[in-house]
Amino acid sequence: MATANLTDPQKAVLFLLSLDEAVAAPIVNELDPLQLRKLREIASSMHEVSTSALDETYKEFVTRSAVAVAVPKGGLPYLRRLTRGGLNGNPDIPVDVENDGPIPKLEAAPPEAVAALLSEETDQLVAAILARLDPKRAAPILEALPPAREAAILMRMTKMTDLPVEVLNDVAAAIAAELPQASNEASLTLDGIKRAADILNSGGRQMSAAVLEQIEEKQPELARDMRLAMFTFVDLARLDAKSMRTLLREVPTERLTIALKGAPQEVIDAIFLGLSERASALIRDDLEVLGKVRKSEVEGARQEVVQVALRLEADGVLDLGRGGDE
């Protein structure tokens, strides 16, 4: 069979079979399953090829590549691998902002399936994808990933700030086996620590405790910040009177008074429900005569209250009502 009688797919098979395996493997890896199936079918039907066919195939390849470079169909997996290098050291991780893009498809998919797709990706890329998902969708995906990676992924996420769109849209599309094209350079402002905290809050308590323990071993200050982000002073409003009494027994009255300076009314009401009438009256009087207090001092007092709440929860004394399994 002369090269003039060969079809382009037959030439492709001949070309690939003539290459060293180490050279051919990366090329084959860029082909999608349909293309590979077609090449296998063609290879099985090719029996005799003239000795000059290979030389002519090489010449044609050189001639055609000199004037044009083929853009591979379904080249998003290749793009994904190329962009990993750019993502690894860059805190500005791109994110998809289209409601009909690949992100909703990832959110709708089984968590185990998404985790399997992400398992071979870098921590930075996984963090970028999870940061874009709804925390309630991201939590089970994170939990389905290897436990040893969970903390590293969330630590990456906490460093994210402004998230450009373009590359992550393509990466997410490749992971979701879709091919939408991003058309703008829109960006979102992301509080990485808050988003990581939301994901932990949406997951099981056992998982969040294990992840925070791993983070604390590596970065204690970050673990503290994440715990504070997981439960804020405003969240005290959802405690019932019994839980509030348990908490307030551990909080000095003078620090509680400062913490209540300018606090939302729902928080004040919830705290007073946990106090006796006499204690409530005393604190109300103190608040009325309390002069101007620096914002940093108020925030410090509120953090002290929250830290007490978190300690009591960790000791199993208090339920902060954050959901998740036991």
Our CA dihedral for 160, 166, 169, 172, rounded to 10 degrees, sits at -60
Q: Which sequence spans correspond to the domains of the chain?
A: 3-67, 76-206, 233-314
Determine the Cα–Cα distance for residues 47 and 44; give it in Å rounded to an integer: 8
Determine the Cα–Cα distance for residues 209 and 207; give it in Å rounded to an integer: 5
Report the pLDDT value the prediction gives residue 205, as an integer from 0 to 100. Answer: 75
Q: How many CA atoms lie within 13 A of 81 on its CB side?
A: 7
Report the pLDDT value the prediction gives residue 74, as an integer from 0 to 100. Answer: 42
CATH class of 3-67: mainly alpha
3-state secondary structure of 93: coil
- Closest CA relative to residue 175, chosen from 252, 264, 113: 113
**Strand residues in 112-213 grouped as ranges (E):** 162-164, 187-189
Determine the Cα–Cα distance for residues 270 and 250; give it in Å rounded to an integer: 16
Intrachain domains 3-67 and 76-206 with the same fold:
yes
Determine the Cα–Cα distance for residues 276 and 65; give it in Å rounded to an integer: 84
User: For residues 53 and 3, is the Cβ–Cβ distance under 8 A?
Assistant: yes
3-state secondary structure of 232: coil
User: For residues 128 and 163, is the Cβ–Cβ distance under 8 A?
Assistant: yes
Q: What is the pTM of this model?
A: 0.44
Angle (deg, nearest 10), helices 205-218 and 192-202: 140
Report the pLDDT value the prediction gives residue 33, as an integer from 0 to 100. Answer: 65
Report the pLDDT value the prediction gives residue 165, as an integer from 0 to 100. Answer: 59
324, amino acid identity: G
Determine the Cα–Cα distance for residues 174 and 75; give it in Å rounded to an integer: 9
Report the pLDDT value the prediction gives residue 36, as an integer from 0 to 100. Answer: 74
For the chain, 326 residues long, give each residue's pLDDT as a single digit of tens.
Answer: 555 577 888 888 888 887 777 777 777 777 766 677 777 778 777 767 776 777 788 777 777 665 544 444 444 454 455 444 445 444 444 443 444 567 788 787 888 888 888 888 888 888 888 888 899 999 999 999 998 899 999 998 898 876 555 666 667 777 776 333 444 445 566 788 888 888 887 877 788 888 989 999 999 999 888 888 888 899 899 898 999 999 999 999 999 999 999 999 999 999 999 999 999 999 999 998 888 889 899 999 999 999 999 889 888 888 887 654 44
Report the pLDDT value the prediction gives residue 135, as an integer from 0 to 100. Answer: 92
What fold does the segment set 233-314 form as a domain?
Annexin V; domain 1 (1.10.220)
User: For residues 207 and 154, is the Cβ–Cβ distance under 8 A?
Assistant: no
Element housing 324 (H / E): none
Report the pLDDT value the prediction gives residue 82, as an integer from 0 to 100. Answer: 47
Determine the Cα–Cα distance for residues 98 and 186; give it in Å rounded to an integer: 10
182, amino acid identity: A
Report the pLDDT value the prediction gives residue 92, as an integer from 0 to 100. Answer: 45
Q: Which residues of 243-272 are buried (b: 16+ CB within 10 A; e: fewer)?
A: bbebbbeebeeebbbbbbbebeeebbebbb
CATH class of 76-206: mainly alpha
User: For residues 155 and 217, is the Cβ–Cβ distance under 8 A?
Assistant: no
3-state secondary structure of 308: helix
Q: Return phi, psi of residue 316, to 5°.
A: 80, 15
CA 137 to centroid of chain Cα atoms: 10
